[in-house]
Structure 1
Amino acid sequence: VNKISDLDSRLHALPEVTYAQTEPIADYMLAHTDMTDATPEGYRHATLSHGEPAAADLAAFIDELKAGDVDVLIYNPQTQTDMTSRIRTTAEDEGIQIIEIGETPPDNQNFFEYFEEVVSNLESLEA
């Protein structure tokens, strides 16, 4: 239980940055932080319903990244598509920090180790 409350405290203390997600994978982690989700609504809605975002949703996401208001891209490497690859490349081109969060831990890690690694990566973000 101490591990969980420790991680919870660390999540609450994360820097106030603005993020966008290639899919809503970090919602459960970031819901109680001071971080702001800037993922365009249409794109987010499509991914929440497990649909394919429309071309206009992708364009809105790319524009959002290029506008300079997003500090970090949360990227799921386990569900890479042409669309998410384009988003990641744009983020890289814009100098946006990228945090990878997958749905399941890598083979050599248990859930807590993986979760702690993700939290550590988030803690390293610069507001």
Structure 2
Amino acid sequence: MPIIVEIIDFPSEQDREDLTKIYLDAPNWMLCDFENHHAISRVKQFVQSIIEQPMTHFIGARFNDRLVGAAVVEQLEYDWHIRSMCVRKVTRNRGVGKRLHAEINRLAQQQQVNLVFEQAPKDF
């Protein structure tokens, strides 16, 4: 089954659970100030805050009806800022990140906007 990339504007409860798992699997540098016992609540707050922000979206990579990777995209007039791109540990090194990146690039070209990749997350 192929990886399907989509904008997640209205995540289901399963999507929210998957997004939480994705960002709990984030590399240590992305989770710079998390303490282990607070990680789940902080990640859930992060997911909710992105959902509530206008012009900011999750773009998710779905495999077998489950999100296995995601990126946060902030849409500005001429630019899309891509940040916090992450793939679940169990799915890494299988091309999910490349597919997600390629599809975000295609969508940006279609909208005639520039892509700006931020190195360090501001979300956490």
Would you say same fold, with TM above 0.5?
no
Q: Between Structure 1 and Structure 2, which shows a larger proportion of helix residues?
A: 1
- Could you state the TM-score of these two structures normalised by the residue count of structure 2? 0.29
Larger radius of gyration: 1
Q: Between Structure 1 and Structure 2, which shows a larger proportion of strand residues?
A: 2
- Could you state the TM-score of these two structures normalised by the residue count of structure 1? 0.28
